[in-house]
Structure 1
């Protein structure tokens, strides 16, 4: 593992990955917050926290009645045979239970309304300082006694390598529909890790998404890099009640463990990218991933 101040100046790629024999740590050049507090729902303190830590939590984004309604919608989608047959539905490798359903804002009118809600898209516009479009949406299910985890990773590393996202000017919003405990596979983030890009080792195979959506191996950081970041930043376990939300930077080092508790964990997950950061051709993959994973429709989310 090597430390690098900037990216590969010869190619113009600030964040080269999956092309070298050794991992490297690259200092990020872009801010995490591009906008300001004027006219938005986030105050100065929340935006400062997002810039510093790479994430900010909203304790009660949804009302209890809204939580019940969206939970029922998730149950409906998970049991719809047409949805289950759709390529956008990903099942667990071992249990064959639904793990994720992608492009859910195009499958569900209820989720589409939530994505465009000012509480969600408005906050994303405020962080990114521009109009935004949905790069990816999905619902994640993590049932009790067997819901699989997600190994440590930076989403931006994948979106850069496989979707052609130029820089980390994107933000994810995870809206909890169940209570998040430390023991049911809650989201874990290394606060401040968004300031460092971890260049990964391993060439991207064709159609890599088919395996990575179930269990990612290519594009995951090496143990030495993870140790450096965790020693430097620590690990935060993001717990909270149903209806809470976390907005986190696309380059945060994050993951979650398997859920071996009896208590399920499910969430609606939306990725907003700036319209000034539209994806180009993949930087480190033989071809684009399907649009339902990395959108090529850059139409701004309506106000």
Structure 2
């Protein structure tokens, strides 16, 4: 394992008054070795090059049914209606996301510790890990709103105080991801380019940004440059597939105007050697249910 990340110098400035130059990433994407976990050398090299890996049949059909039933239970649970962890669609009012879901679901909490996930997270990050953020996402047919192009690390750095891009997300699909039902789009290789964003972060901005993010998103010029440089790929596949993607990869999704809903479990693993400090570009840290400050290693 390596030393804890240096937090004294901000290598990834953002929320600037004027558009800044793209920063070439100084930190690696893959911190571990083939012998450290399930990914072999070829898979690790591909992940480091593209910034993401897609694993089909990551969970079984029985598990898909089990977790789908759990998502249905959570979305209709009257005891958490109006809870600050529940985010609704801006227009329809339907449930969009439920955060800190490992505190609300024993099944998903157990999944976060499953060796299929934990061993891969440790291998990619080269250390013990903890959960920076957990949530389930719902994108209902006809009404599901997309997410504009963004880098998660830009937000986690600016608003949560994550020092370096040493975190990885795992999105487990519980419904088929088609090219046409609002599936996640990624720019392969864009994780190597950090794009500073423009605009001062308002207080309690998370209350708006989780429904529609307007600050902390790149300019159209920056997106155009990255798209021409890296191209655009999409996470498609059957229910049970998993997308592992680097925290700094540029990604987004369109609205779902089809009758085919989309839902997923979303777990963010951060290295215990990259724990949060004070936000780099926000008045105060976001609440614990969005950016956890419990750095206890997962076992």
- 1:84-127 deviation line (CA, Å, top 9, x unaligned): 22100000011000000000011100000111101112111010
Aligned to 1:226: 223
Q: In the alignment, does 2:253 pair up with 1:256?
A: yes
Q: Are the counterparts in 2 of residues 24 and 200 from structure 1 also a CA contact under 8 Å?
A: no
Q: What is the root-mean-square deviation of aligned Cα atoms in Å? A: 0.8
The Cα of 1:212 is off from its aligned counterpart by: 0.2
Give, in angstroms, the shift of residue 83 of structure 1. 1.8
SS of match in other structure, 2:65:
helix
- Alignment-derived partner of residue 114 in structure 2: 117
- Give the equivalent residue in structure 1 for 2:52: 55
Give 1:49 shift. Answer: 1.0
Q: Could you tell me how far apart the structure 2 residues matched to 1:24 and 1:71 are?
A: 43
The aligned residue for residue 40 of structure 2 is 43
Is it true that 1:167 corresponds to 2:148 in the alignment? Answer: no
Report the CA distance between 1:39 and its aligned residue.
Answer: 4.3
In structure 2, runs of 5+ residues without a counterpart are: 1-7
- The separation in 2 between residues aligned to 1:175 and 1:81, in whole angstroms, is 25
What's the offset of the Cα at 1:19?
2.5
Q: Following the alignment from structure 1 to structure 2, what is the Cα–Cα distance between the partners of residues 111 and 223?
A: 37
Q: Match for residue 70 of structure 1?
A: 67
Moved over 4 A (4+): none
Q: Following TM superposition, by how much is the alpha carbon of 1:37 offset from its aligned partner in structure 2, in angstroms?
A: 1.3
Does the CA contact (< 8 Å) of 1:154 and 1:250 recur in 2? yes
1:177-200 Cα shifts (integer Å, max 9, x gaps): 000000001010000000000000
Contact residue 156 and residue 250 of structure 1 kept, 8 A = yes
Shift of 1:279: 0.5
TM-score, normalised by the number of residues in structure 1: 0.95
Tell me the residue number matched to 2:147.
Answer: 150
Contact 1:153 1:253 in 2 (8 A): yes
Number of aligned residues:
292
Give, in angstroms, the shift of residue 238 of structure 1. Answer: 1.1
Structure 1: give runs of 5+ residues left out of the alignment. 1-10
Aligned to 1:107: 104
**What is residue 193 of structure 2 aligned with on the other side?**
196
Provide TM-score, normalisation by structure 2: 0.96
The 2-side partners of 1:39 and 1:283 are apart by: 32
CA contact (8 A) 1:205 1:286 kept: yes
